[in-house]
Amino acid sequence: MSDTSFLTLDKLSLAYGKTLAVKDLDLEIRKGELLALLGPSGCGKTTTMRSIAGLMTPVGGRISLDGADITRVAANKRAVGLVFQSYALFPHLTVFENVAFGLKLKGMRGAELETKVAAGLKSVGLAAFAGRKTPELSGGQQQRVALARSMVMEPKVLLLDEPLSNLDARLRLEMRTELQRVQKESGVTMIFVTHDQVEALALADRIVVMKNGAIEQIGTPEEIYNHPVSSFVADFVGFENIFAVRDGKLTTANGAVALSKTLPDVAGLAWRPRAISLGSGPLAGTVRGVSFAGGTREYVLETPLGIIKTEVDATFPAYALGAEVAFDLPVEGAALLKRFG
């Protein structure tokens, strides 16, 4: 474990029966960090989170928290909080009683309990809602109750399972800000699981992209967004034009295609739609789809390379369906992929 690591997963392996879900996973998480486990369904992110929470026993490896081995420590003894996707609130209890529930189980009573719960509700902006039943609250307010209930227990690590998935678009934006504020003000180490790359990019200090029970890439949001290391990560974070590179040429569905510039020694290249030069260049395609998206216009081109997706400023002259359009794939605008497939 490095000097900066607070939570360490060392060669962690997890299984459901004879099916291995996570194999030999190594991960170091810093104290006070907001970390996202990102990936599609079945990639192992929720399984990993469950093992940190103590809800799943590893078949191999070790989990250490703040210098102590917690691999076999019971869930209620490892100072780890968990906010479920469903919030798991008690509908027959008030907001105050929901937040106080865990503290009462620990034996807290009287003025100490009142002060602790009041501070927890204040931290999530719900001091005025203490007497309400949870079904009377909005989705965002219910999530704040679940967050406060975990935070008052003063966990060393707080885990959140798809924290924004049950909220509408407007509330998701609000809760991103709320989660960041609570995390930074409290200093708690926070790990959240999500399949939404926008959510991960907006919230996390670092992102762990997972695939088939293993880590595909770890980096800051900027590193993951701008410099994916594989075709899997590139596709997951919005690169829609992805090609393998062999013998200095792009490998496409229609065979090898040489570009005007020498290609770097990489496994693949990926371009976001915005990075495609439209209107000039050595390549050409036919417009098969066009959509106006406010400030931009998006095109789908049928080309010798296959389908190319482009995006240009809406002030750019529009092309009609069926029009022949010149374009270029500028190598300097591509992400360089170390792995393909």
Q: Helix, strand or coil for residue 260? A: coil
Tally of structural domains, the chain: 2
Contact call for residues 225 and 333 (beta carbons, < 8 A): no
Helix (H) or strand (E) holding 146: helix 139-151
| Residue 270, strand partner residues | 242, 335
Final residue belonging to a domain, choices 196, 228, 260: 228
Within this chain, do residues 112 and 220 fall inside the same structural domain, yes or no?
Answer: yes
Q: Phi then psi for 288, rounded to 5 degrees?
A: -110, -10
With beta carbons less than 8 A apart as the criterion, state whether 78 and 112 touch. Answer: no
User: For residue 86, what pLDDT is reported?
Assistant: 76
Each of the 341 residues of the chain gets a pLDDT tens digit; together they read 455 789 999 999 999 999 999 999 999 999 999 999 999 999 999 999 999 999 999 999 999 999 999 999 999 899 999 888 777 889 999 999 999 998 998 888 999 999 989 998 988 888 999 999 999 998 888 888 988 898 889 899 999 988 777 777 777 777 788 888 888 988 999 999 999 999 899 999 999 999 999 999 999 999 999 999 999 999 999 999 999 999 989 999 888 888 878 888 899 999 999 999 999 999 999 999 999 989 999 999 999 999 999 999 999 889 999 999 999 999 999 999 999 98
Residues spanned by the domain of 196: 5-228
One domain, residues 257 and 143: no
Integer Cα distance of 217 and 209 in angstroms: 5
Same domain, yes or no: 116 and 147:
yes
Check residue 257 and give its pLDDT: 87
Alpha carbon 282 to its chain's center: 38
Domain end among 213, 228, 243? 228
Q: CA 55, CA 59: separation in Å to the nearest integer?
A: 13
Calpha distance 80→159 (Å, rounded) = 7
The answer to whether residues 179 and 251 belong to one domain is: no
Q: For residue 147, which of 195, 107, 88, 103 has the smallest C-alpha distance? A: 88
Same domain, 84 and 176: yes
Do 219 and 238 sit in the same domain of this protein?
no
Q: Are residues 119 and 192 in the same domain?
A: yes
Q: Which two tokens stand for residue 135?
A: 């079904």
* CATH number of the domain to which 302 belongs: 2.40.50.140
| 3-state secondary structure at position 105 | helix
Specify the DSSP element, H or E, that contains 34: strand 34-38
Q: Output phi, psi for 112, to 5 deg.
A: -65, -45
217 and 159 within one domain:
yes
Q: Look up residue 294 and give its two tokens.
A: 């406010």
Residue with tokens 């529930």: 101
pLDDT at residue 3, as a whole number: 55
Could you list the beta-strand ranges (E) of the chain.
5-16, 19-30, 34-38, 60-65, 68-69, 80-83, 157-161, 189-194, 206-211, 214-219, 241-246, 249-252, 255-257, 268-271, 277-292, 296-303, 306-313, 324-328, 335-337
Q: What local confidence, expressed as pLDDT, does residue 259 receive?
A: 83
Domain boundary residue among 228, 249, 272?
228
User: Tokens at residue 159, please?
Assistant: 């885990």
Q: Which two tokens stand for residue 103?
A: 């503290």
Note if the pTM is more than 0.95: no
Q: How far is residue 241's CA from residue 273's CA, in Å, rounded to a whole number?
A: 7
